[in-house]
Amino acid sequence: MEDIITRTRIGKTWTKIPNESKMVSKIPREDRRPERPVLKCHKCGSTSHLANTCTKKTKINEVQVIEEVHCTEEKEESDQDSAISEDTPVEDYPIENITAFFEVTKVHTHLPQYSEDFYNLINIQDARMCKTKPARGKAYTAGASCIASVLMNDIEAKVNLDTGAFCTFVGKDYLQVILPEWRNHLLPIEGVQFSYASNNMYPLGILDTNLVFPHPAGSIRVKTEIVVMENCTSQHITFGNYYLNIYGIDTNNHKDRYFIIGENKRQKFAFSNMPKQISIVTSKNDTYNEEFVSNKLVEAQINPSLSPKMRNELINVLYTYNSAFASDNEPLGAIRGHEVDITLNIDRPYPPGLRRPAYPASPRAREALEKHIRELIQLGVIRKVGHNEEVEVTTPFIIAWNNNQSRMLGDFRALNTYTVPDRYPIPRIQETLNQLSKA
């Protein structure tokens, strides 16, 4: 029985006997990996990081000393020089033994413009617009004044921050309203000539006073010397560029309309919203009125019981304000001076949801859309955007049809999501009718 178990190896674990002729030396896993080059930062030479995350600034004007050894003799001489330099004082060391190579980088682009007789004009680029460009021929309507409100002797006054005026001045008529006793505080001035807008100005004296720019976070007092002019008819104080420079008053901003004083850029002062007054030249000549009546008032019916004087007065009023009436040839179009500013509840940069692409349209809808766009451009409601203008918000439009008549509709859902809501109560129609029942 034991002989059978030994031969058949019943109940024993099988173990493979290694063959010495086929044994191969095992190579460790670490030794199998190929040798990789050590990555270093090419700016500072450190192996802990790369150049894209290096915090050490690149020194473009760094002085580097290059040692060139051409033969063993020169190497021995350099060793002798180095040995001598250890025992020799610094002031006695010969300067001829130092060889330095300098590399100067041209940085003309970071320097301000300098005046020369001739400029080598290269790389001319179109200026990037920060705001929407007005329609062609209407650029004069897009400007705004730089008039701000100040306090002078506890009385509100208007001051114009004029960078083109080299001194601060005011007319005597406007100063009489603010400070009636201004002649008692006048300093003498002699032998000086002034001119403004190609007109000669006649000075009366200098007024040393303070102007206070009010602000909820803290008002700022500016000490100024104002030249009082005799023939100045401006209804404000012209603040010259001399005080703009010494007090650091900055009126050049890109997006919003405000100015700052000094180094505190968070304290912003707003300009006064001065209405744009456009003088209307009226004529009382009856020939113009008759032409106006024959062309514009053809379909109008005037009460025949009016006297000739009352009829002429009515026609003169209609002729004076004829721009308020629309016709087929002269529609109302865009109303200047009553633009609406849309206030968003987010700051720049705006999310991609406010810049939506145009919807696909059929050839019929595209033709109708181009027709509506041409009409709105003629009315002055919209205009074409230039290739170098920055458009931050875009809204797609679609064409709706009703009885074969097209109508252009705008999809403002994305814009309304980021717009500050203007909530106001809407009266009920039934309540309005109840109030009118006893009228």
Residue 153 lies in a domain: yes
**Is the pLDDT score of 120 beyond 80?**
no
Q: How many CA atoms lie within 13 A of 45 on its CB side?
A: 0
Asked if residue 156 and residue 229 are part of one domain, the reply reads yes
Whether 185 shows a pLDDT value over 70: the answer reads yes
In a domain, 164, yes or no: yes
Angle at 59 between CA 56 and CA 65, to 5 degrees: 120
pLDDT exceeding 70 applies to what percent of the chain?
Answer: 71
Q: Would you tell me how many other CB atoms lie within 10 Å of the CB of residue 319?
A: 19
- Do 243 and 265 sit in the same domain of this protein? yes
How does DSSP classify residue 253?
-
**Helices 308-320 & 286-295, crossing angle to 10 degrees?**
80
Task: Determine how β-strand 194-196 pairs with β-strand 397-402.
Answer: unpaired
Helix (H), strand (E) at residue 376: helix 363-379
Residue in the block written with tokens 């290059």: 66
| Per-residue pLDDT reduced to its tens digit, 320-357 | 887 777 766 666 677 777 777 888 888 888 888 888 88
Q: In 365-379, which positions are buried (b, 16+ CB within 10 angstroms) versus exposed (e)?
A: beebbeeeeeeeeee
C-alpha distances (whole Å) from 247 to each of 143, 357, 406 are: 25, 47, 59
Looking at the structure, tell me whether residues 248 and 152 fall in a common domain. yes
pLDDT > 50? residue 285: no
Q: Total structural domains in the chain?
A: 3
Least confident stretch, 94-108, 161-175, 265-279, 324-338: 94-108
What does the pLDDT read at residue 282? 43
φ/ψ of 164, rounded to 5, equals -90, -15
How far is it, in rounded angstroms, from Cα 394 to Cα 357?
A: 7
Kindly state whether residue 83 falls inside one of the protein's structural domains.
no
Backbone angles phi, psi at 211, to 5 degrees: -115, 130
Same-domain pairing of 352 and 378: yes
- CA–CA distance, 31 with 18 (Å, rounded to integer): 25
- pLDDT band of residue 26 (cuts 50, 70, 90) is low
Q: Could you give the percent of the chain with pLDDT greater than 90? A: 5
pLDDT tens digits, one per residue of 243-257: 888 898 888 765 667
Which amino acid appears at position 121 of this protein? L
Selection from 131, 138, 134, 133 nearest residue 278 by Cα: 138
In a domain, 128, yes or no: no
Q: Which of 324, 354, 370 is the last residue of a domain?
A: 324
Query: Does 292 share its domain with 230?
Result: no
Answer yes or no: do 340 and 317 share one domain.
no
Do 297 and 340 lie in a common domain? no
CA distance readout (Å), 165 to 160, 169, 194, 239, 243: 10, 9, 10, 7, 10
CATH code of the domain in which 256 resides? 2.40.70.10
- The boundaries of the domain holding residue 207 are 146-270
Q: Are 346 and 420 in contact (CB under 8 A)?
A: no
CA atoms within 13 A on the CB side of 345: 9
pLDDT digits (tens, 9 = 90+) for 44-94: 888 888 877 777 765 544 545 444 445 555 555 555 555 444 455 555 556
Q: Reply yes or no on whether the pLDDT at 373 is more than 60.
A: yes
Looking at the fold, whether 348 and 430 belong to one and the same domain comes out as yes
Is 436 found in the same domain as 361?
Answer: yes
Rounded mean pLDDT of 198-214? 87
Statement to judge: residues 305 and 344 lie in one domain:
no
Q: For residue 141, tell me if it sits in a domain.
A: no
- pLDDT tier for residue 199 given thresholds of 50, 70 and 90: confident
- Asked if residues 221 and 234 have their Cβ atoms less than 8 Å apart, the reply is no
Residues 320 and 340 occupy one common structural domain: no
With a cut of 80, say whether residue 12 has pLDDT above it.
no
For residues 410 and 42, give the distance between their C-alpha atoms in angstroms, rounded to a whole number.
55
Give me the mean pLDDT over the 180-206 stretch.
84
Q: What is the pTM of this model?
A: 0.41
Q: Is 232 exposed, middle or buried (0-12, 13-18, 19+ CB in 10 A)?
A: buried
The mean-pLDDT minimum among 126-140, 224-238, 319-333 falls in 319-333
Q: What is the pairing mode between strands 258-261 and 186-187?
A: unpaired
Return the CATH number at 385: 3.10.10.10
Asked if residue 280 is part of any domain, the answer here is: no
Residue 226's pLDDT is 92
Residues 249 and 152 in one domain: yes
Average pLDDT (275-289) is 46
324-333, 381-390, 391-400 — most confident range: 391-400
* Residue 33, in any domain of the structure: no
Amino acid code (one letter) for 103: E
Q: Tell me the average pLDDT across 183-196.
A: 84
Contacts of residue 49, Cβ cutoff 8 Å, sequence gap at least 6:
41
Give the CA angle between residues 283, 288, 292 to the nearest 5°.
115
